[in-house]
Amino acid sequence: MAGVLGWPVDHSLSPPMQNAAIKELGLDWVYVALSVAPRNLGAAIEGVRALGIAGLNITIPHKIAVMEYLDEIDDDARVIGAVNTVRVDGARLIGSNTDAYGFTATVMAEGEMMFPDATVLILGAGGVARAMAAGAAAEGARKVILANRTRSKAEEIAQDFDSIYPSTRFEVVQASAPSLAHAAQRSGLIANATSLGMRPEDPMPIEAESIEPHHVVFDTVYAPPETELLKAARRRGAVCVGGLGMLARQGARALAAWSGLEPDEDLMLSVLRKSVAESG
């Protein structure tokens, strides 16, 4: 058994995706959604040890809080400051973070972009932005530009990562139109790590005029599957990459950690796309 633990979690697309991959691997497992209120998180994690669960995905709002209940946290998760995957190793619970891999693998596979020597503009400064910045730096990005309305949050990421990734320069800009336009001119990849785009009335995280044909534009928002940002990027001639690939690939990396087997990422992505189409 495996599952995704969050609050709320009924809307999660992970169960159909993971169950399809589990079946294809021939595992006698089931993957379920586990809705756990924050006040019950400690008790839920302790119960994992007794229930024979192979592993968990951790989602909002538990990615940071869960860390205090684990026996070990791997280097990637410690750098990012959040855990989205828990592996059970005997009686030990080991936390990791597969979001950075999900991001970089998706950009490379679907955007046909390589990170070495690239300049990456990341919009946002939350947990997903931290994972994306860490992933880009680990893959060899020359510069990561962080843009956020609350500048101090972006500065915190830059300060945290400066010494960890000495080969990558971290720059912070204000999330205002002129600053974003200048940052975009110097970037090959524009990556939205904010929630802007989930609702029809949301403004775009960057003005369409800042997007050029040489850009790869990535959006973590996957519902709707083509956000206003990606629509604008497509009209401007840029390469567009949606967020479903990141969800599929981070989930595949988690399943591989639990099972020791390599799941079919393409199958998982196909199931996700079908789920989104049926729900929309």
List pLDDT tens digits, range 208-221.
999 999 999 999 99
The confidence band for 52, taking pLDDT boundaries of 50, 70 and 90, is: confident
Cα 21 to Cα 50: distance, rounded to the nearest angstrom:
25
Average pLDDT over residues 137-165: 97
Give yes or no for residue 91 having a pLDDT over 90: no
CATH number of 100-244: 3.40.50.720
Element containing residue 15 per DSSP (H, E): helix 14-25
pLDDT recorded at residue 280: 67
Task: Find, among 180, 187, 183, 185, the residue nearest to 203 by Cα.
Answer: 180
Give yes or no for residue 49 having a pLDDT over 90: no
pLDDT recorded at residue 278: 86
Instruction: Report the mean per-residue pLDDT for the chain.
Output: 96
Query: What residues are annotated to the active site?
Result: 63
List pLDDT tens digits, range 2-28.
999 999 998 899 999 999 999 999 999
Q: Could you give the percent of the chain with pLDDT greater than 90?
A: 93
Average pLDDT over residues 165-173: 98
Average pLDDT over residues 219-224: 93
Contact call for residues 143 and 171 (beta carbons, < 8 A):
yes
Whether the predicted model's global pTM rises above the 0.85 cut: yes
The arrangement of secondary structure in 2-97, i.e. its CATH architecture, is 3-Layer(aba) Sandwich (3.40)
Average pLDDT over residues 36-47: 96
Q: Within 10 A of 103 (CB to CB), how many other CB atoms are there? A: 29
Q: What are the residue ranges spanned by the domains of the chain? A: 2-97, 100-244
**Concatenated DSSP letters for 102-125?**
HHHHHHHHHS----TT-EEEEE--
Average pLDDT over residues 168-197: 96
List pLDDT tens digits, range 110-149.
999 999 999 999 999 998 999 999 999 999 999 999 999 9
Give yes or no for residue 184 having a pLDDT over 90: yes
The answer to whether domain 2-97 and domain 100-244 are alike in fold is yes
| Rounded-to-10 torsion of CA 216, 220, 223, 226 | -10
SS3 content of the chain, % helix, strand, coil (to 5): 45, 20, 35
Give yes or no for residue 94 having a pLDDT over 80: yes
